[in-house]
Structure 1
Amino acid sequence: MKFIVAFVLCVVVVNAELSKEFQEAVLKKVMEVGEKCAKQENASQQDIDELMTRKNPSRKEGKCLIACFNEEFGVQGKDGKMSKDGVMAALAPYKAEDEGLYNKLVKLLTEDCMPQVKSSDRCEAAAELDACYHQNADDEIKKADAIF
């Protein structure tokens, strides 16, 4: 639980450019999903630390933690396949907050990164999407990332 709180606080600081109401909604959802996924995937403090520092997960549990988040937000199915519709639904709150940012996020995830996901393993596929996202996100996206 302690590491989920630290992760969420990091997310909120990163989201400083977004409205307070948006940040609170993100905080609530990430806390809820984070607690569930950390337990489900047996994530360790090391796994959370790597995600917070934008490092590629070194353990299967860290990769599976990303997969669990993706599944909870509808970005990825349990079969490991990514969902363009799921990305758009997960990012819908960003559209109301900043449509330009929303469009950049959708393009990055669906057009740039999803085609690079090759693994059929749910955890490896999630890690591939995450690595592409962090490698290709511009400064505006990096300031606003919370879900991915």
Structure 2
Amino acid sequence: MEIHVVCIVILSAIVLSCHAQLTDEMKAHFKQQIAECKNTEDANDDDVTRFLAGDKPTTLKGKCLISCMQEAFGLTKGGQVQREGARKLGQMLFGNNDEVLSVLEIVRAECASLTDPDRCEASYKRMSCAKTVAEKHGLKTPREMI
């Protein structure tokens, strides 16, 4: 099962028919954040590699890496999906593309209620849901964004 790359962070890397282009500055920020989350969550190189490849995490720390990234990019706070954080990240990636932003809202609405007592499991569940909902709407995750 694939995991969204920048969504990594739930909702953020959904694309309609055109691909978002990350600036070098955005890519550097993303890579710096991965390194910080790797350290914070005590994740290993395999967790990061799987995350970047869009592969399902095989460890709890790999799921915690997803949670940390979601928190770092303002997608979640205190275990709750943040509508404004998702919208801001969507705008940063895709500009004011109303079609993409409306799909991001659909994904958020369908996946935000998923919970788990463990923050890492909850983030992973929401990420998996986002992938399913995005595919249902014919959206894909661009691998070349990072």
Q: TM-score, normalised by structure 1?
A: 0.71
SS of 1:118 mapped into structure 2: coil
TM-superposed CA distance for 1:70, in Å, is 0.7
1:17 is aligned with what amino acid?
H
Given that residues 56 and 131 in structure 1 are in contact (C-alpha distance below 8 angstroms), is that contact kept between their aligned partners in structure 2?
no
Aligned to 1:72: 72
Q: Distance in 1 between matches of 2:116 and 2:71?
A: 16
> Which of structures 1 and 2 has the larger relative contact order (alpha carbons within 8 angstroms, sep 6+)?
2
> Aligned pair in 2 of structure 1 residues 146, 127: CA closer, same or farther (>3 Å)?
farther
1:107 is aligned with what amino acid?
I
Q: Distance in 2 between matches of 1:123 and 1:38?
A: 13
Given that residues 20 and 93 in structure 2 are in contact (C-alpha distance below 8 angstroms), is that contact kept between their aligned partners in structure 1?
no
Structure 2 residue 116 is matched with structure 1 residue 122 = no
TM-superposed CA distance for 1:86, in Å, is 2.0
RMSD (Å) for aligned C-alpha atoms: 2.9
State how many pairs are aligned. 130
Given that residues 101 and 140 in structure 1 are in contact (C-alpha distance below 8 angstroms), is that contact kept between their aligned partners in structure 2?
no
- 1:131 paired residue among 112, 128, 132: 128
SS of 2:112 mapped into structure 1: helix
Unmatched runs of 5 consecutive residues or more in structure 1: 1-6, 9-14
Query: Residues 108-132 of structure 1, C-alpha deviation per residue, up to 9 Å, x if partnerless?
Result: 1x112112x1213221111111111
TM-superposed CA distance for 1:88, in Å, is 1.6
Q: TM-score, normalised by structure 2?
A: 0.72
Aligned to 1:106: 105
Query: Residues 64-97 of structure 1, C-alpha deviation per residue, up to 9 Å, x if partnerless?
Result: 10111011111112x3222222212222213416
Q: Distance in 2 between matches of 1:145 and 1:31?
A: 14
Q: Distance in 1 between matches of 2:93 and 2:53?
A: 23
> Identity of counterpart residues, as a percentage?
21
> Aligned pair in 2 of structure 1 residues 57, 80: CA closer, same or farther (>3 Å)?
same
Q: Distance in 2 between matches of 1:130 and 1:145?
A: 19
> Aligned pair in 2 of structure 1 residues 86, 119: CA closer, same or farther (>3 Å)?
same
TM-superposed CA distance for 1:98, in Å, is 3.3
2:125 is aligned with what amino acid?
E
TM-superposed CA distance for 1:144, in Å, is 7.4
- 1:17 paired residue among 16, 19, 39: 19
